Structures are given as C-alpha cells and as structure tokens.
Amino acid sequence: MNRRLLSHAALAAMTVMVSAGLVAGPAHAAEPSPTPVPHASDVNVARALAACDPRGTTPSDASVATQLNGTLRAKMRGYMSAYRVSCARMVIKAVQDRGLNPRAAVIAITTTIVETSIDNISEELDHDSLGLFQQRASWGSRDQRLNPTWATNAFLNKMISKYPNNGWMTAPIGQVCQAVQVSAYPDRYQPQAADAQLIVNAIWPVLSAPVEGRLYREPNGTVAVVAGGAPVRFTSMDELNASGYEGAPLTNVPAGWLNTLPQTPRDGTYLRNASGGGISIITGGAKYDLSLAEWTALGQPASVNVPVRLINTYGTTPRNGTYLRNHADGSIFVIAGAAKYGLTPAQYDTLGTPAFTNVPIGFINKIGAEPTNGTYLRNPVNGSVYLTAGGAKYGLSLPEWTALDEPDSTNVPIEWINTFTAIPRNGTYLRNHADGTVYAITNNRKKPLSYDEWVALGKPDSTNVPIGYLNTIPNV
C-alpha cells in the first residue's frame, strides 16, 4: 500500500515538474506532433478504400475528372480523380436504373461529397460507419455498405420514404440529405449541391444510351448527331446548321466519349439528306435511296438528318453475309460477292436464322445473281469452301485454302453452290497463284498467255486459283 502511495506521489511530483518545465531534455528536441486521425469527410487524407466499380476505372473516368477539376467550385475542386468519378458513376447508374429523375442523383452525390469526398471508405473511422454514404451497421452488412449500388439504393429507399409523392423533387437538396443522414452538421450539404449538379451533368449522359437524333458536344467543341447508335461528326457549324440543327440543344459529354460509341450506324438505319430531303436506308455498309412510295410502304420510319457527304460514302451493294428481307412478302436473301440468293425457310434455319434488314424489293432487285470472280462460298454443313469465277466453282482442299492465305468466306446453302458449273465461261481469266501464269478460258479449255498476249488483251483482271483447279481444265 505504501509503495502504491509513493508511486502516486512520485507521479504527481513528476507531473508538476513537467508542467513547470523543470524536467529538461535535449535542447534541440521538439515535442512530437500527434498523427491526425483521418476523418471520413477529409478530402486529402489517406484512408483505406474499396473499389467502386469491380471492373476498375475507365479512360472516360479520367477524362471526366480532368473536366470537373476545372469547373467545380466547392470542396471537390481539384480533388476529382478517375477513382472518385468511378464511384460517382456507380451512384448515378443506380439512380438511372431505378428510372428516377436526375435530381435524385444530385441529392445522392451531394451526400457522398459531404460524408466521404466520394470515397468508398472501407475502414471504420466514425464508429462503425462504412462506404460512400458512411452508413452505420444498422443499415446492412459490411459487404452491402461497401457495394455502391446497394448503398445508393438503400439511401434512395430512405429518401423516398421520408418524402412520399416525390416530395424530394421540390424540397431543398440539403434538407433532403439531412433527412436521410441525420447528421450532426446539417448545414454542410447545401453548399455542395451545385457541384453535385455539375458532376451529375458530366456523368449522366455518359451512362445513358445515346439518343437517336440528339446532338452531343465534347469539351474541344466537336459536335456529333447520333444516327443508328453511331456519332456523325460535323466538320463545321455551317454544316451543322445546313443539316437542320441550327439552335438545337447540345448535350455535353466528356472528351473521348464519342469514340466509345460504335462508329458505323447499325443496319436498318434511315439517314435523311437535309438539303434534298431524300431518305436512304443503310445496311451491310451500303445505301439504298428510297422513293416516297417505298418509304411510305415501310411505315414512314423515322430518319436522322445528316450531311449528304456521309450518305455518299456508302456504296450500293451490301457486304458479304448481309441478309435482306423483302418487307412485302417476307422472303430473305443472303448476299455474297455482290450477288443475292433467295433462301427457303429450311435454308435460313440451317444458316442459324441470322439477323436481317427489311428493305423494299427494289433494293433486292438491284443486286445481281452471280457472285463476282474470286468470291469464296462456304457450305456450313461440312465446312467446305468453294472458289467462284466465271460462273464456275472449285472446291478447295485445306492446303489450297491455306496457300491462298485463308481467305474469308460466306456461309451459303449448298444448293446455291451447286448451281455453278465446273469450268468458267468464255472470257474468264485464271491466274496460277504459285507462278503467276494467266490463262484464258475459251470453249471449256484453258490457254496460257504470254506477257505480251496479256498486254495486247488490255491486261484483263484475273482470279488467283490453285494449280489443282487449272489441272481440271483441258488445254486448248
């Protein structure tokens, strides 16, 4: 007991001496500064964080962060990063998926700015709070609160319960945040609402599917209209105005966003030449200019105004493997080598019931019946590949196909392949791909041409074929 009292007395004396400065240490020693305890709302203090998007950040996230750092005015100015944008993106996506007004996203983002600086905090800094919204354990499990989608929906559920009949649409944003969070600092929310709006404005259109006929503008001033899911960029404001968009609203998107979209309009897109009013249907990389009667028969489908220079970039024959459907009678045609072949229902099934584009019969009738020389057709039943030239076919062996550099082929019914003869028609020129010799076909026979003979004939185009094919054709 005496030792305990002595110890207490000595401790008391030491305390007095320290307080009076009587216990001296080295002259150069400074009293150590306590390490600051990171708070969930700190914007620049390292905290343990969990990923927001399981797939990580995207180049667009980094672009949006750079854009926002130059436009925000409050707490987050200069502190946005690809990670923080990815977190905001997940919150906004959860709002979109529920079909709520963007104001719900502004409320949620305002809350995350105040609570965590848009960080998905995975350590308990404030009691047992976790995540973007600093939700207590009573809200859900650790995994749930660290899942931005779950956490956002939990926040939205409470917001909607607090403000039935969409009362959150008109109540002050800071008031709504406080009603959900019940913070000890209710006045911190409203000052961040304007920046939250800027963040939502930057991210919301990135997450939304591009709207047909809407104009989108990147920070560098590039403006494009979406047609068939693809951006059609305007070369100048004069071209934009001439296309009928003068005074039309622009949706701002981050740098590089236009490149994330498909760059070619989908099959079945209708493009309208704003200057002439003509409408073209696009499919398989080709265009067909519709008459008024054809457009009406197709149901007067909606079209997107684009510069005529874009329409002029398309050819008139769809690429190999395109399927066209006569909208009048439902018959389906496969395209290969600038030729068409009408399919029976059974043949269409054998080909795997591929997607098709409804078109007028006028479009189908403009396409020939015989593939161009050098077209490769494949029987999908057994995988055999045939080379066509001059109305004839030749079945390639695997070594021959390989020697020809494994050319692409188009799946077609064997019935179409069987319509071709064995020997090309007169006037067809075949070239031995091994030694370059060119042969002219005359009356089911071949004749090798000298260089001078080939020149005298006007250097006609020839089709590369294996020597095995040439050997099946008698000599003149």
**Of the candidates 102, 140, 122, the residue with the CA atom closest to the CA atom of residue 132:** 122
User: For 2-11, 37-46, 433-442, which range has the lowest pLDDT when averaged over its residues?
Assistant: 2-11
Structure confidence by residue, pLDDT tens digits, 212-263 = 999 999 888 999 999 999 999 999 999 999 999 999 999 888 777 888 888 9
What does pLDDT average to over the chain? 90
Q: What is the pLDDT of residues 271-281, one digit of tens each?
A: 999 888 999 99
pLDDT at 173: 98
Q: What are phi and psi of 131, to 5 degrees?
A: 85, -175
Report DSSP state, residue 294: H
Mean pLDDT in residue range 334-339: 97
Which of the residue ranges 54-63, 119-128, 172-181 would you say has the lowest mean pLDDT? 54-63
Alpha carbon 354 to its chain's center: 22
Q: Where are the domains of the chain?
A: 59-207, 209-313, 317-369, 375-471
Using CA atoms, how far apart are residues 337 and 218, in angstroms rounded to an integer? 40
What separation in angstroms does the CA of 8 have from each of 17, 23, 332? 14, 18, 100
**pLDDT-based confidence at residue 5 (cuts at 50, 70, 90):** very low
pLDDT of residue 41: 83
pTM greater than 0.75: no
CB within 8 A of 6, min separation 6: which ones? none
In the chain, the percentage of residues whose pLDDT exceeds 90 is: 82
Q: Does pLDDT of 18 surpass 60? A: no
Share of the chain above pLDDT 70, in %: 92
Mean pLDDT of 117-144: 96
Q: What pLDDT is recorded for position 198? A: 95
Q: Which residues contact 435 (CB under 8 A, 6 or more apart)?
A: none
The pLDDT tens digits for 363-377 are 999 999 999 999 999
pLDDT at 35: 52
Q: What's the pLDDT at 290? A: 96
What's the pLDDT score for residue 36?
Answer: 57
Work out the number of other CB atoms within 10 angstroms of the CB of residue 101: 12
